[in-house]
Amino acid sequence: MQVSSPLPGLGDLPQAARRALGTLLADLGGAAEARECDELAAAGWIRQGGALDPSRALLLATDIGGTKAQTALCDLDGTVLAETKAPTSEAGGLALIDQILSQRDLLLTETGSGPSRIAAAGIGLPASIHPATGRLHRGPNIDDLETHDLVHLFGDALRVPVAVENDVNMAALGESWRGAPPRGDCSVFIAIGTGIGMGTVVRGELLRGASGAAGEVAALPIGADPFDRATFRNGALESAISSAALLEDYRARGGTAEGTLKDLFALGPDPAFAAVIDRLATLVAQAILSICSILDPGRVVLGGSVGSRPELLALLEEKLALCMPEPPECRISTLGNRAGVVGAARAARLRLAQTLS
């Protein structure tokens, strides 16, 4: 089922004006004809001079992770107007729909807006989404969604055009749109925390791959034996550098401090933890070397609870200088934990543009 936006006035635009609005929303350039500009201005979509009015509509942006569900209402430029977070529902994948609806209603109440102000929605999930079928390709935490076309499923529930993408893809899209300006045609976003994932943006568009699994760097044959069946589910690299694996490594090295990785980073000098982070930097450097040999990104952006640590970045730059003649620029995400929702807003805006073309 193709869901059209309920936004008042959008369906009344003449076809030529709709196409012109779609071009504006997709940032494709080109000037609208004078008549189309007049029609879009009369409907409140553009300001004097022809620029899009970002306050004309709202975008619903949701970033679902393994532990938290973060939803924001954004304007058309990706500015977060209201935001809420909660632990991800433990009831299973289909329960995420109710959680998103609940968070949406909370934000609408907070901003004094009605549901009809939302023009489109973007949803990031901790899974690969098949670009042709809209179904989960790899989603270990949301098993009961595997048989559904998620674009239709969420679209039917929200009653607006919906984009559904991998959560790290969303963060990559957000960072390239409203974070650090891209360098060159290609940039990658690597999230390191509970696990590891990557999103790639090429000339402003996501690189998804044949089954939506482009960027599944967790499966790189680094840090563990890729032929060991114990690594099949989460991948060899992730089995070596997940939060759980790093804590296990710390104990094996004689570390005695208690707590999470965040707690260990806050400690003073600890030889066991320093050795763990040094090994982590070595493995991530090997991963980036592999990524660069295929994609040649102009910039590598790091995010996630571990990836955003300055200590890791400093070590990583040292390691890359030892294994690459010209390492890419590496930097920590400027959007931080909002990268996913800003990317979801971008995906929602592009989805809305598609419906108008």
Tell me the pLDDT of the chain (357 aa) as tens digits.
444 555 766 878 899 999 999 999 998 776 567 788 889 998 899 987 788 999 999 999 999 987 889 999 999 999 999 999 999 888 767 888 999 999 999 999 999 999 999 999 999 998 888 888 888 776 555 667 777 888 899 999 999 999 999 999 999 999 999 998 778 899 999 999 989 999 999 998 999 999 888 999 999 999 999 999 989 888 999 999 999 999 999 999 999 999 999 999 998 889 999 999 999 999 999 999 999 999 999 999 999 999 999 999 999 999 999 999 999 999 999 999 999 999 999 999 999 999 997
Cα–Cα distance measured from residue 278 to residue 297, given in angstroms and rounded to the nearest whole number = 24
Structure tokens at 282: 């070595």
Q: What is the pTM of this model?
A: 0.93
DSSP state of 1: -
DSSP letters, 173-234, are HHHHHHSSPP-SSEEEEEEESSSEEEEEEETTEE---SSS-TT-GGGSS-SS-TTSGGGTTT
